[in-house]
Structure 1
Amino acid sequence: MLGQEPQVERCEGGFLVRAGEHAVRVEKLFLAIGRQPHLAGLHLERLGAPLDARGVPAHDSATLKVKGAPVYLAGDAAGGIANLRRAAEQGRIAGWNATHRRKHRYATRTHLAIVFSEPNIASIGREWDTLDPQRLAVAEQRFGPVGRAMIMGQNRGMLRIYADRRSHRLLGAAVVGPRCEHLAHLICWAIENRMTVERALEMPFYHPVIEEALQDALLTLKAELARLPLRWRLLPRRPAPVRKPAADLPAPA
């Protein structure tokens, strides 16, 4: 159902949810639509900077300074996801830059979003619709056979992870499953450190733990990369030309 626009209608006993060719009846719906920053009363249009569709003025995403005005934005007011850690870091940088000539810059980090539902839902790294599927290797791992999840009686869910076919670097993942808030952090750290699939598999894994779902997904991803089409393989470097020794060169006239 991923990638399809959902259609919801009431039915006897709950709701009917349709997405593409799929349909499912459920008793209840969990609706997560986010929040909007309270910008209307600030009259930001008086700054003279162009506003986007949400009323956020144009600003430097690194220094957080509004274009053409001595005003700095942070957190929800700066647009993007509503995240406490991100807002706090931006607040420190905006406060510093507002009072110092030498500016600090906000460094964009690997995307990480978690819904603290049961089971957890998480999105990590590059979003799928921003990437070229032809350049990706993808692996899926269900939680059904994961030992620790079976012991807890919570072995329903799926981890989907993808990497670049040429460099083998991890790019992103999406997961619905038990305690996947922890898996999400591990994957996020690996992406932030530009790890390849092979390097991530060199990390230690214990048994029985939920993290074994990630290990299995990485093994599947490694096997997928081994089936790389020839057009994606890097050509070997040509050997450097062999110079003739000085003794073989003709003497100067």
Structure 2
Amino acid sequence: MKEYGNIIIGFGKGGKTLAGALASKGEKTALIERSDKMYGGTCINVACIPSKFLENNARMSAAEGGSFQDKADRYRKVIEEKRQLTAELRQKNYNKAVGAGVEVLTGTAAFLDDHRILVTYPEGNTEELYGKRIFINTGGTPFVPPITGLKESRYAYTSEGMMELEELPEKLLIIGGGYIGLEFASYYTNFGSQVTIVQDGEAFIPREDEEVSAAVLEHMTAAGMRILRKAAVTAVRDENGKAIASIKTEGGEEELSVDAILVATGRRPNLAELHPERAGIELTQRGAVKTDEGLRTSVPHIWAMGDVAGGLQFTYISLDDSRIVKSQILGDGSRTTANRGAVPYSVFLDPPLSRVGMTEAEARKAGYEVKTARLQMAAVPKARVLKATAGMMKAVIDGKTGLILGAHLYCAESYEIINLFKLAMDAGIPYTVLRDNIYTHPTMSEALNDLFAAVN
């Protein structure tokens, strides 16, 4: 039985970063990944990088125009370029880990007890490992709801499978009105597909600020997307080279014939093959690994990072998780999930939606004396340069202190600007500093001059 100071299960952002840090300290470290197609983790292979590559190319394709066949030809080339990109990144991540002294094992890991891991290799042979410390970084997996005929349909895909689809669907049905579903709706609309979104709730992206949600809904509808709310897909069947979806709406029932169905109904912690119960690891009610503020599990020498720990499902959170764990085992333990500050996020629509902090409603409910600022993007010179005048900015401010409580940006390049807000919020910088700052011109960030001049 091989013995290691550290066994890390999963080649995601947190796992690979921590593995490199530990190996560089001379600690014997094994990194287990079940597939050689997932070196580097979910983000670079089947999520962030390939999907944003599609998003960027979809916008360029929309600008080029042409017939549906022209768009389908471009789409096919983009999928092949995407494959080349992810392959290059996979190899780079593998080389970096090995170069740092990490032993990479390609196989499926399962706990035998709280120190022993059984690895089953693709050839079928197994190996038992002993780890003084063990780190779980197995990520999440798409959830497919129990809709009659859905799993059996040849034309139904999760987000991972959708990005491998070589033929552009003329008609696309998306089950789920969450962020992943809306991103793909935006991509495929720009590529030239006719997109229908089915969501079960009445409220559209209900976690967002009400004004901003309304702006997103208006723009996506105007772009040609059909969004059915308070609706559900009840059954799917394949017929004559199409998927036929039965949809129940407030107005009754209908059948929709489509070329592809994207199932975007969320992700679940990826633990099915790991058997954490054998190690005595406690799970949350939602099936994630239960951790404390230092990301330690109920077993003192086992930690969990990233999506599997049940937190925000962003690759940069997994990266920060590795910093927290590193602080716990190599540092002074001062870095925790409680002090990582405001967490921004972006939804890559067209234009992108970015947020950090509280909505206006949340701030009022929390008892703040709220002031707000709004700016329509048609008033921003750089937005006109980009021919991207749709959308708005909104800031939520503490009327007593002038500190920023939240920011909601539905505009071009919002994914860059939102980081200025995080920095200001974490540093306790009042909105007046951003209002009076000097920005380069023409840029989207200079819109903060006008946005914060409109505080009321």
- TM-score, normalised by the number of residues in structure 2: 0.40
Secondary structure of the residue aligned to 1:200 is helix
Q: Which residue in 1 is equivalent to 2:256?
A: none
Q: Do residues 65 (structure 1) and 65 (structure 2) align?
A: no
Instruction: List runs of 5+ in structure 1 lacking aligned partners.
Output: 1-5, 7-12, 225-253
User: Structure 1 residues 177 and 68 mapped into 2: Cα distance closer, same or farther (>3 Å)?
Assistant: same
Q: CA deviation at 1:40?
A: 2.5
User: Partner amino acid for 2:321?
Assistant: Q
Q: Which residue in 1 is equivalent to 2:335?
A: 105
Q: Is the 8 A contact 1:111 1:126 kept in 2?
A: no
- What count of residue pairs does the alignment treat as equivalent? 208
Q: CA deviation at 1:55?
A: 1.4
Secondary structure of the residue aligned to 2:395 is strand
Q: Is the 8 A contact 1:40 1:55 kept in 2?
A: no
More helix by share: 2
Q: CA deviation at 1:212?
A: 2.9
User: Partner amino acid for 1:154?
Assistant: A
Q: CA deviation at 1:129?
A: 5.4
- TM-score, normalised by the number of residues in structure 1: 0.69
Q: Which residue in 2 is equivalent to 1:164?
A: 398
User: Structure 1 residues 135 and 45 mapped into 2: Cα distance closer, same or farther (>3 Å)?
Assistant: farther
Q: Do residues 38 (structure 1) and 270 (structure 2) align?
A: yes
Q: Is the 8 A contact 2:307 2:318 kept in 1?
A: yes
Q: Which residue in 2 is equivalent to 1:202?
A: 436
Q: CA deviation at 1:68?
A: 4.6
Q: In 2, distance between residues paired with 1:163 and 1:80?
A: 26
User: Structure 1 residues 214 and 29 mapped into 2: Cα distance closer, same or farther (>3 Å)?
Assistant: farther
Q: CA deviation at 1:42?
A: 2.2
RMSD: 3.1
More strand by share: 2
Secondary structure of the residue aligned to 1:131 is helix
Q: Which residue in 1 is equivalent to 2:68?
A: none
Larger relative CO (CA 8 A, sep 6+): 1 or 2? Answer: 2
Identity of aligned residues (%): 23
Question: Which of 205, 219, 223 is residue 453 of structure 2 equivalent to?
Answer: 219
User: Structure 1 residues 101 and 205 mapped into 2: Cα distance closer, same or farther (>3 Å)?
Assistant: closer
Q: Which whole-Å deviations, capped at 9, do the CAs of 1:187-236 have from their partners, x for residues lacking one?
A: 11111111112222232123332123222111111xx1xxxxxxxxxxxx
Q: CA deviation at 1:49?
A: 5.3
Q: Determine which structure has more spread, i.e. the larger CA radius of gyration.
A: 1
Q: In 2, distance between residues paired with 1:129 and 1:73?
A: 33
Q: CA deviation at 1:144?
A: 0.8
Q: Which residue in 2 is equivalent to 1:155?
A: 389
User: Structure 1 residues 35 and 57 mapped into 2: Cα distance closer, same or farther (>3 Å)?
Assistant: closer
Q: Which residue in 2 is equivalent to 1:184?
A: 418
User: Partner amino acid for 2:426?
Assistant: E
Q: Is the 8 A contact 1:162 1:172 kept in 2?
A: yes
